[in-house]
Amino acid sequence: MKKIITTVVFAIGLVFSMTAQDKMMKESTKTIALEQTPGEFTQKQLSVPAGTYVFEISNKGVGHDVGFVLVKKGMDVSKPENHIKTAYVTEVVKTGEKQQSNPTVLEKGEYVYFCPMNPTATDNTLIVQ
């Protein structure tokens, strides 16, 4: 009986700890909003401090679904293994809608972003300071 009570107390403590950690993560997560129009992102270059971000991608009249890919600058953008997968939107973005990525930790450096479904340039730059 003592072992069961200890296990339950431990489990409750673990759930509380995870909830507090999730809350801190959510409070420290910022949003980077980007808009796609036919063939391009409206923002070509951004600069942000290092931290945790969610990418919010808007489809402004593209006429078909769009997505989002983030890659460390200098890496081959055509290779999915170089993509920062947490930055992918969780669902394709339909015309007139917006979708978000999962939280993504960005460390100091330069990144490039593009859409593989809306042939945008691969030289859109995100600078993390």
pLDDT in tens, 64-78: 999 999 999 999 999
**Residues 48, 106: contact at Cβ < 8 Å?**
yes
pLDDT digits (tens, 9 = 90+) for 24-65: 455 699 999 999 999 999 999 999 999 999 999 999 999 999
Helix (H) or strand (E) holding 100: strand 98-100
In this predicted structure, what is the pLDDT of residue 26?
55
**Tens digit of each residue's pLDDT (9 = 90 or more) over 105-121:** 999 999 999 999 988 88
Domain ranges of the chain: 29-128
Average pLDDT (69-92) is 97
Please give the structure tokens belonging to residue 20: 């507090």
> Cβ contacts of residue 72 below 8 Å, gap of 6+?
82, 84, 109, 110, 111
- Tell the CATH topology of 29-128: Immunoglobulin-like (2.60.40)
